Amino acid sequence: MSSLQPVRGTHDLLPDEARRHRHVEQIAFEIASRYGFGEIMTPLFEFTEVFARTLGETSDVVSKEMYSFTDRGGESITLRPEGTAGVARALISGGLTQSMPLKFFYRGPMFRYERPQKGRQRQFHQIGVELLGVEGPQADIEIIAVGAHILKALGLSEHITVEINSLGDSESRSDYRAALISYLSNFRDRLSPDSQARLDRNPLRVLDSKDEGDKELVADAPLLIDYLNAPSRNFFAKLQEGLALLDVPVKVNPRLVRGLDYYSHTAFEFVTTALGAQGTVMAGGRYDGLVSQMGGPATPGIGWAAGIERLSMLMGAIIDAPRPIAVIPTQEDFVAFALAQRLRHAGFAVDLGYSGNLKKRLIRANKAKARAAVILGEDEASRQSAMVRDLDSGIQEEVPLASLEVHLARFR
């Protein structure tokens, strides 16, 4: 394949698609800001250990999907496959653990080596939020609420269902782990090789298996929700009570799990049937053991991430660029350039044709979806004025250059 083609699993975001991406980011950031989330920007790459320790050595992401390389200093470096690990690392390395609670919003590209499919590329983009330092269900309620608010602001609420489950505390998961091992051990020989390895190291990860044979066996496995102790059941009840109070409808999905040990209590996904098999558009959970697993102090945390590509596809709508003002000179001089620059400094989007007669430049203005045209004719120039044409109605009038900004204000 020609080296001039994009790498498989990547693609260019041309202006129409880029505007949709930016719209998703801006709406998400605006809503998250109302909830007190500040933006954090972590590096695109980290030491490989950051992700290996947080995602688990046996996870598909670490074992099969990470873009890792050895740099010139001999260090193993990985392009970030997700956002939470970098935020947790920043919490520790930045000495932020004394400043909690902390609320972060992030956005940007992530990288995973996997089979490209609808809504999933090898370079993809995410928005996400993390809330650190709050032990109670108030954090879980707010995290899910801000996600629901963002999707509502994007006009996607009617397409999406919020599914939640409880993973319980460490005592509940320990009891469940024993029951799950007991059940799965009866079918060890029928499990996929990956799940046979997981059964010994981390049996909850078998529940996440994509292997069809594993899925059939897991369908009859015990449910974690049946092993919740009283504190865990109370936590889950408070979560549902709070979400109902905020008018966020949810559906309990007892099969929804997170396979790593540092997850606890709340797991949730925002799902849709509008994108085919890849139906999760936003997913998250509580990860109270993550920061301590990375070498920091015990720190409660919860967050979610959402794929911008999937949200953009779900929106479907074209996000129009601002309609510009077309500045059209009828003679070749730099007066039009100066006027265009003046209007831009006044806050107008301006399209300036570089060549062609008046007819061609008006055709260009219509292609650019210009709202109005400022035509600088020789006669008008002698009177220090210009013709302003409303390109929607066709009405035009002569306007003094000195008051041009005031006249054009209605075309913003």
Could you tell me the CA-to-CA distances from 319 to 71, 273, 356 in Å, in that order?
40, 23, 30
113 and 140 co-located in one domain: yes
42 and 114 co-located in one domain: yes
366 and 252 co-located in one domain: no
288 and 331 co-located in one domain: no
By CB atoms closer than 10 A (0-12, 13-18, 19+), residue 174 is: exposed
Specify if 334 maps to a domain: yes
Specify if 320 maps to a domain: no
Residue 224 C-alpha from the chain's centroid: 29
Residue 108 C-alpha from the chain's centroid: 8
The predicted-structure confidence for 187-196, as pLDDT tens digits, reads as follows 888 999 888 8
What's residue 257's pLDDT?
A: 86
95 and 154 co-located in one domain: yes
User: At CB < 8 A and 24+ separation, what contacts does 73-77 make?
Assistant: 75/47, 76/47, 76/48, 76/49, 77/45, 77/46, 77/47, 77/48
271 and 407 co-located in one domain: no
* Separation CA 152–CA 158 (nearest Å): 8
* Separation CA 248–CA 243 (nearest Å): 5
DSSP structure string for 234-293: HHHHHHHHHHHHTT---EE-TT----STT-EEEEEEEE-STTTT--EEEEEEE-TTHHHH
**264, 291, 315 - which closes a domain:** 315
Specify if 212 maps to a domain: no
Specify if 220 maps to a domain: no
By CB atoms closer than 10 A (0-12, 13-18, 19+), residue 73 is: exposed
368 and 348 co-located in one domain: yes
Enclosing domain of residue 395: 325-411
Count of domains forming the chain: 2
> Mean pLDDT in runs of 10 for the chain (412 residues)?
79 90 96 98 95 72 82 94 94 92 97 77 95 96 98 90 94 91 90 86 82 88 94 97 96 86 91 76 94 93 95 83 91 84 95 83 91 90 91 94 94 88
Specify if 292 maps to a domain: yes
Specify if 65 maps to a domain: yes
What's residue 252's pLDDT?
A: 96
What CATH code is carried by the domain that includes residue 353? 3.40.50.800
273 and 354 co-located in one domain: no
301 and 339 co-located in one domain: no
For residue 312, count other CB atoms closer than 10 A to its CB.
23
Q: What is the pTM of this model?
A: 0.88
160 and 294 co-located in one domain: yes
Could you tell me the CA-to-CA distances from 251 to 67, 161, 284, 326 in Å, in that order?
36, 7, 15, 52
The predicted-structure confidence for 376-386, as pLDDT tens digits, reads as follows 888 888 899 99
The answer for residues whose C-beta is within 8 angstroms of residue 341's C-beta and 6 or more apart is none
Instruction: Say if residues 387 and 400 touch (Cβ distance below 8 Å).
Output: no
332 and 303 co-located in one domain: no
* Separation CA 325–CA 365 (nearest Å): 8
* Separation CA 214–CA 119 (nearest Å): 25
**280, 315, 350 - which closes a domain:** 315
Phi, psi of 344, rounded to the nearest 5 degrees: -65, -40
**290, 315, 340 - which closes a domain:** 315
Specify if 219 maps to a domain: no
382 and 310 co-located in one domain: no
What CATH code is carried by the domain that includes residue 119? 3.30.930.10
Specify if 204 maps to a domain: no
